[in-house]
Amino acid sequence: MNKNVADLLNDQINKELYSAYLYLDMSNYFERRGLNGYANWYKIQAQEERDHAMLFYQFLQNNDCVVTLKAIGKPDKKFKKDMDVLKAALEHEEYVTSLINNIYDEAYKVKDFRTMQFLDWFIKEQGEEETNARDMITKMELFGNDPKSLYMLNQELAGRAYSAPSLVLD
């Protein structure tokens, strides 16, 4: 595997683990607010991000590359209101999409078709993540100021269950 592509994949492990930390921090915010459904949503997001890190980890190992683990940064966002969290989540997902696109671009330049195929799943996943984040913002804008509606949104998010990604690695 091209060294630059391998380095970017290694960096992505760190970015995914940071994402998990960020989502746990968001979950903490909502727990303190008494919105356990929103807290649940972001806890599950954290689990997904940890799984994504492990997919990158396993892909590198399966391709006989050295995995280099780096320190995970502490989330530095401060949230004053619910919408701050939702907008930060969308902004972060857009950032992660740019990272995945950058790795894909580097793999394309060196004709690393295996990595490109591996990243196809993440490209689709990022599209779903951005859509989910936008939907949460839209629902909060429409209903979040009404306590009964906020309660219903919270109940909806409380029903989210975790399911591990189904990506086959070679």
Domain count, the chain: 1
Distance in angstroms (rounded) separating the CA atoms of residues 165 and 125: 10
pLDDT of 170 higher than 60: no
Q: Is 50 left (phi over 0), alpha (psi -120 to 50) or beta?
A: alpha
- Mean pLDDT computed over 134-162: 90
Q: Please report whether residue 92 resides in a domain.
A: yes
Q: Which residues are within 8 A (CB) of 47 and not within 5 positions of it... i.e. 6 or more apart?
A: 20, 162
What is the domain-level CATH number for residue 36? Answer: 1.20.1260.10
Kindly list the distances between the CA atom of residue 110 and the CA atoms of 4, 129, 156, in Å, as whole numbers in the listed order: 10, 28, 45
33-48, pLDDT tens digit by residue? 999 999 999 999 999 9
- Which residues span the domain enclosing 21? 3-158
CA atoms within 13 A on the CB side of 39: 9
pLDDT at residue 161 above 90? Answer: no
Residue 163 lies in a domain: no
* pLDDT band per the 50, 70, 90 thresholds, residue 111: very high
How high is the pLDDT of residue 164?
75
Q: Which two structure tokens, joined as six digits, stand for 71?
A: 């320190």
Q: pTM, whole model, 2 decimals?
A: 0.92
pLDDT tens-digit series, residues 119-131: 999 999 999 999 9
Residue 148 covered by a domain? yes
| Domain contains 164 | no
166 found inside a domain: no
Q: How far apart are CA 51 and CA 20, in angstroms?
A: 9
